[in-house]
Amino acid sequence: MTGALVDSNIILDVLTEDPVWFEWSSQALAQAAERLPIVINPIIYAEVSIRFQRIEELDDALPPAMFRRDALPWEGGFLSGKCFRSYRRQGGMRRSPLPDFYIGAHAAVAGLTLLTRDAARYRSYFPKLVIIAP
């Protein structure tokens, strides 16, 4: 694997010291970082940015020396759209964010491991994806 794409829920658990998930998320992130480059994409960056007032604060929290910033692959856009369409046809709620499908598709087409707390949907729609989850 070329890296571990870290879902925003993991990053937010660590940054906010979430009382339920901080310990698991911080340990999982540290263990992944020992073995693989840690990767984020613009969607994850945007989701985490909601917690910050200024871009400089966000960049301090997600330093490029620690978090490799990968672009979104075009193939991932296609795959995420197909998975989202399948989800909707199976009765999935419209409010479910398409970005989650793009995160899974990015990891799948780029050969990245996905570090997330929300593994069920990723496992359903990306069955070959390597996932680190509780």
pLDDT digits (tens, 9 = 90+) for 2-40: 899 999 999 999 999 999 999 999 999 999 999 999 999
Task: Report the share of the chain in percent with pLDDT over 90.
Answer: 72
pTM of the entire structure? Answer: 0.88
Among 116, 47, 104, CA closest to 80: 104
Structure tokens at 133: 């989850």
58-65: long-range pairs with CB below 8 Å, 24+: 61/15, 62/11
Place of tokens 């794409």: 5
Give the span between the Cα atoms of 105 and 111, in whole angstroms. Answer: 10
Contact 54, 45 (CB under 8 A): no
pLDDT in tens, 93-115: 766 567 888 999 999 999 999 99
What is the rounded end-to-end Cα distance, in angstroms, of the chain?
Answer: 20
